[in-house]
């Protein structure tokens, strides 16, 4: 049991480490002057510490049930070859999928965290409703579709993985849209 906990704990660290690399890559690229679609915009104040904590706790709880460390949904590969000006749009598409396929159907699971995180994510999704891009939909659609296919193929454990990576989505939205 102790061994089990230990390896599962390591798995969340792995997820977060991968995420940090992704986010570092994103913020380095952000240095370049790129016009950002005004609708692809969130306010930093949307990401307050309380909801950050709830999202983290939720992801942590779910990742205890995720022992598949080979598959990463939100990682370097997701934003690889997507222009930095489109990263927020990409994250928005992942958010939309996450809400529709996992969070809303599972809104009664992983309490007490889910009851705070679902409305929060729904609010962000709503704020990004007008967020669009002028070109390159297809490439992004392909990537999001691949993510959906992976989740579907894994079934229940794919959905658990989505919840386990929610904090990466949170950070990704914050870093690319706010």
Given the rule CB under 6 A, which of 2-10, 82-90, 95-103, 111-119 is the region that contacts ligand NAG?
A: 95-103
Q: Which of 55, 63, 85, 125 binds ligand NAG (CB under 6 A)?
A: 125
Residue 79, number of CB atoms within 10 A of its CB = 23
Cis peptide before 112 (omega within 30 of 0): yes
By the rule CB under 6 A, 96 interacts with ligand NAG: yes
Q: Which of 11, 29, 77, 157 binds ligand NAG (CB under 6 A)?
A: 77
Query: What's the rounded Cα separation, in Å, for the pair 157 and 86?
Result: 29
Pick 37 or 77: Cβ nearer ligand NAG: 77
Given the rule CB under 6 A, which of 10-18, 94-102, 107-115, 161-169 is the region that contacts ligand NAG?
A: 94-102
Pick 3 or 175: Cβ nearer ligand NAG: 175
Q: Could you tell me if residue 155 is left (phi over 0), alpha (psi between -120 and 50 degrees) or otherwise beta?
A: left
Query: What's the rounded Cα separation, in Å, for the pair 76 and 7?
Result: 23
Give, in degrees to the nearest 5, the angle at Cα 82 between 151 and 152.
Answer: 10
Site track 104-123 with ligand NAG (rule: CB under 6 A), x = hit:
--------------------
Query: What's the rounded Cα separation, in Å, for the pair 98 and 79?
Result: 17
By the rule CB under 6 A, 100 interacts with ligand NAG: yes
By the rule CB under 6 A, 48 interacts with ligand NAG: no
Terminal Cα distance for the chain, rounded: 41
Residues lying near ligand NAG in the complex (CB under 6 A) are found at: 43, 45, 53, 56-57, 77, 96, 99-100, 125
């Amino acid at each position: 049991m102790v061994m089990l906990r230990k390896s599962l704990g390591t798995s969340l660290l792995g997820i977060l480490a991968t995420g940090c690399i992704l986010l570092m890559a994103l913020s380095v690229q952000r240095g370049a002057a790129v016009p950002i679609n005004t609708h692809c915009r969130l306010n930093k104040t949307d990401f307050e510490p309380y909801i950050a904590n709830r999202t983290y706790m939720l992801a942590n709880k779910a990742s205890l049930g995720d022992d598949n460390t080979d598959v990463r949904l939100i990682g370097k590969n997701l934003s690889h070859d997507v222009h930095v000006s489109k990263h927020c749009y990409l994250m928005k598409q992942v958010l939309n999928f996450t809400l529709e396929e996992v969070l809303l159907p599972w809104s009664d699971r992983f309490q007490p965290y889910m009851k705070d995180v679902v409305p929060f994510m729904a609010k962000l999704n709503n704020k990004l409703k007008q967020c669009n891009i002028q070109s390159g939909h297809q490439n992004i659609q392909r990537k999001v579709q691949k993510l959906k296919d992976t989740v579907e193929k894994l079934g229940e454990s794919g959905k658990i993985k989505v919840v386990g990576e929610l904090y990466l989505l949170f950070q990704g939205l914050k870093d690319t849209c706010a």
